[in-house]
Amino acid sequence: MCAEVVKSRLLLIAATVPPLLVILFFAVNGWNRRSAVSVSSNHSRTTISVAQMQESLARERQLLLEYEKEQSALRTVVIAQRKLYQDGQISKEQVVLAEKSFVAALKRVHEMRYSVTETQIAITEAMLGEKVLRMPGLPVGGFSQTAELVRFNGGFKWSLKEAPRIERFFSQTFGRSLPVTALGQSDTHNRLGFDHRNSMDVGLHPDSKEGKTLIDYLRKSGIPFLAFRQAVPGATTGPHIHIGKPSNRLAS
């Protein structure tokens, strides 16, 4: 009985979230969470293995499924409650409460999707990063590619101060924000023990239209990069473009 009451109240909550409220939420929070990424040189003293990170990823994916189900249920509630309000059966305060619950659910989904993407990309870099470091060095301007990754050792003196320049190029070309997943050192890189302080990751598949355009721009600009196609043959785990030099292991 109690569970049914709670469920009915949740339904009352979500149904009436105006589109403007959702728009404002994404405008404030934004898909690009660069501001939440730490660029500090300090790193966690506890380094975990790729296997442990994969277990964490599995848990995050399960949570994401649960959050998406919750969001969907609350959306149904919001729609229903909006109609109840229009029919004069509930108060404006009930509608506002529903809207807040729905937006909170949206935020949880948004943040978990970001976390899943970041973890996938970090795992890919960890799995292939050691292989990259064992490969013969490329001369300045050198380029190579395999089924797993593309490498370019541009001569441009790259730093994170150049990130806005790349973002402007991408937004002017495609009319949307560059999907940056890590700008500098993140907690995930700390846990995996990789030095990512002067690198940025972009969540684009290297073989997509946008990915190819960005790679072409980086090569013409002389900006070094690594483009990860896949960590495991036949899988699409964490494809992305790593701008900057390869990430070395953090000093203990």
* Per-residue model confidence as pLDDT tens for the chain (252 residues): 444 444 444 444 444 445 444 444 444 444 444 444 443 344 444 566 778 888 888 899 999 999 999 999 999 999 999 999 999 999 999 999 999 999 999 999 999 988 888 888 878 877 776 777 778 889 999 999 888 889 999 999 999 999 999 999 999 999 999 999 889 988 777 877 778 889 999 999 999 999 999 999 999 999 999 998 876 555 556 889 999 988 777 655
> How far from 155 is each of 85, 137, 164, CA to CA, in Å?
63, 13, 19
Q: What is the pLDDT of residue 126?
A: 76
Q: What is the pLDDT of residue 12?
A: 44
> How far from 92 is each of 78, 97, 133, 136, 156, CA to CA, in Å?
12, 9, 60, 66, 58
CB–CB of 202/215 below 8 Å? no
Cα–Cα dist 234/229, whole Å = 10
CB–CB of 237/230 below 8 Å? yes
CB–CB of 203/181 below 8 Å? yes
Tokens of 232: 């495991």
List CB contacts of 55: < 8 A, sequence separation 6 or more: none
| Cβ-based burial of 1 (10 A; exposed 0-12, middle 13-18, buried ≥19) | exposed
Q: What is the pLDDT of residue 119?
A: 83
Q: What is the pLDDT of residue 233?
A: 56
Per DSSP, the three-state class of 159 is coil
Task: Spell out the domain ranges in the chain.
Answer: 2-243
Q: What is the pLDDT of residue 124?
A: 80
Cα–Cα dist 80/179, whole Å = 34
What's the whole-model pTM score? Answer: 0.68
